[in-house]
Amino acid sequence: MMQRRIAKILSANDTGETGGHQAGILVPKEESVLSFFPPLDESIQNPRCHLRFLDGAGTFWEFAFIYYNNRLYGGTRNEYRLTRMTKFIRQAGLVQGDELLLTREGSRYCVDYRRKRAASSGAAGVLKLGTGWRVVEINR
């Protein structure tokens, strides 16, 4: 079974360091990133799914993957977000520049992080995206 991993270099906005109250981490509309998550029914307003992620200490975290599509219903938003992560980010002490790592193997999701480090040059199997996200394919 193939294991998939996506990673996001966290911005100050993602970690709450700016004092803003954004609705979760923006997920780019790149198929390579969106395909990590379960598909959402775009025919309903603001579809979402709740996903349980396991961390390295054995704790489960419930995050929500949401497509804010109210532009189709007279609103202004048309974006994907990963929400309900504030407690995890604070408990882990994550700051701008740290990397959030999300892994999926079948229907099992895991969450981890790496502390800030120097950016590496493009390694084989890594697609670097301008949004701070990258996709890693891991064959097992």
Return the H-helix or E-strand segment holding 82: strand 79-83
User: Which of 5, 34, 30, 8 shows the shortest CA–CA distance to 138?
Assistant: 5
User: What's this model's pTM, rounded to 2 decimal places?
Assistant: 0.81
H-type helices in the chain, by residue range?
Answer: 12-15, 31-34, 86-92
Q: In angstroms, rounded to a whole number, what is the distance separating the alpha carbons of residues 58 and 116?
A: 23
pLDDT for the residue 128:
45
User: Which residue spans within 84-132 are E strands per DSSP?
Assistant: 99-105, 108-114, 126-128
For residues 137 and 32, the answer to whether their CB atoms sit within 8 Å is no
- The Cα-based distances of 130 to 1, 30, 127 in angstroms read 29, 11, 10
DSSP letter assigned to residue 21: -
Q: How many other C-beta atoms can be found within 10 angstroms of the C-beta atom of residue 107?
A: 8
pLDDT for the residue 130:
54
Domain spans, the chain? 3-138
List per-residue pLDDT tens for the chain, 140 residues long.
678 999 999 999 999 888 776 778 999 999 999 999 999 999 999 999 999 999 999 999 999 999 999 998 999 999 999 999 999 999 999 999 999 999 999 889 999 999 986 555 555 555 444 567 778 765 55
User: Which of 62, 71, 49 shows the shortest CA–CA distance to 111?
Assistant: 62
Topology of domain 3-138, CATH: At1g16640 B3 domain (2.40.330)
